Amino acid sequence: MDKKQWQEKGAGHRARLRDRFLDRGLESLNDIEVLELLLSFGTPRSDCKEPARQLLKTFGSLSAVMETPVSSLEVVKGVGPKNSFAITFVQSVAGRYLKQRLEGKRYLHSSKDVREYLEHSMRGLKREVLNVIYLDSSHAVIDSETVAEGTLNVNTVYPRELVKKCLDHHAAAVILAHNHPSGSLTPSPPDVDLTKKIFHLCSMLQIQLLDHLIIGSGVFSFADTGMMQDIAGECRQLSQSLTG
């Protein structure tokens, strides 16, 4: 088989994969085929099946491949700047889509969407980041942003600056979220101290801190476990002692 025949055979194979996706959706493709199509966007004349197979073998799963930096992807034979770009580009597009899907929606009815967005954008990161989701008085999502990176505690996040951002967004409520690169879902003492400090500052300005989520191997919620209620109780006791 000459080069032209080989390229035509590969093009026919990828066309069949695309047609299958269009007819039956993503569920009709296995993970190797998904990666093969993504890689082929960058190198349409190359055989991408073996590099796709090696990516899965090296990183363990499709989600792990999608979360891997370009420099690490290119360690795999057959993966270069052109086809690895397609993988990271799709990952970034998905993050923007999930974020924009939240805007204007009430948190009460879209908490699942919020968690999906946070898990997508924060799971797999190699360093800690703190994200804030700003809500209006009806708990509709105004915006979200990363406000700190690195080791997160009361000495690095600067709660007063975070509260100022809440005021700049005219937020009536907020949700905090940060990741644990280790995958652990157990709040550390600095996590708890930071949550308490921000809760106290927000409550003084009539801003509700609804929840603090930790993204790791899953999602931990301060609110769902009753910790936010305990912190609110401590805040009330402190206010009463100061005014009493």
Architecture of the domain delimited by 3-94:
Orthogonal Bundle (1.10)
Asked if the model's pLDDT at residue 67 lies above 50, the reply is yes
- Of 123-132, 155-164, 170-179, 222-231, which range is least confident? 155-164
Check residue 108 and give its pLDDT: 66
Q: Tally Cβ neighbours within 10 Å of residue 210.
A: 20
CATH 3.40.50.2300 fits 105-243, yes or no: no
Report d(CA 158, CA 151) in Å as an integer.
12
pTM score of the predicted model: 0.69
Domains 3-94 and 105-243 equal at CATH topology level: no
Mean pLDDT of 183-207: 92
Tokens of 90: 């799709």
Asked if the model's pLDDT at residue 14 lies above 80, the reply is no
Asked if the model's pLDDT at residue 9 lies above 70, the reply is no
Question: What percent of the chain is predicted at pLDDT more than 90?
Answer: 34
- What distances in angstroms separate CA 2 from CA 9, 14, 86, one per listed residue? 11, 19, 28
Check residue 15 and give its pLDDT: 83
Nearest to 181 by CA among 221, 151, 157: 151
Check residue 44 and give its pLDDT: 77
Domain boundaries along the sequence of the chain: 3-94, 105-243
Confidence of residue 116 (pLDDT cuts 50, 70, 90): confident
